[in-house]
């Protein structure tokens, strides 16, 4: 019983850490895209915008689908 609780807590911490990493990488990609677009390289800048948006969306999905339901106790335990 205790080992299951520790495993669930570690999984939750892993997902929360993943969300933080994805958010930071997405924000950095968006900032880099701003610099790239303002320097005149529009194609590469738009690619960075798309990559940053994808990373931020992935972070949002990890938080809303995995982390928050677990914290609220809404997720069903795996059998």
Is the predicted pLDDT of residue 76 greater than 70, yes or no?
no
Q: How far apart are CA 14 and CA 56, in angstroms?
A: 17
Which DSSP string do the residues of 3-64 spell out, in sequence order? HHHHHHHHHHHHHHHHHHHHHHHHHHHHHHHHHHHHTT-HHHHHHHHHHHHHHHHHHHHHII
32: three-class secondary structure by DSSP: helix
Listed by start position, the domains of the chain span: 15-72
pLDDT of residue 20: 98
Using CA atoms, how far apart are residues 71 and 79, in angstroms rounded to an integer? 19
Q: Which pLDDT tens digit goes with each residue over 4-24?
A: 788 889 999 999 999 999 999
pLDDT digits (tens, 9 = 90+) for 44-72: 999 999 999 999 999 999 999 999 999 89
């Amino acid at each position: 019983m205790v080992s299951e609780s520790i495993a669930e807590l570690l999984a939750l911490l892993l997902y929360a850490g993943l969300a933080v990493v994805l958010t930071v990488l997405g924000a950095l990609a968006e900032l880099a895209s701003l610099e790239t677009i303002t320097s005149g390289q529009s194609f590469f800048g738009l690619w960075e915008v798309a990559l940053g948006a994808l990373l931020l969306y992935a972070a949002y999905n990890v938080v809303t689908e995995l982390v928050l339901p677990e914290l609220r106790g809404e997720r069903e335990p795996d059998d």
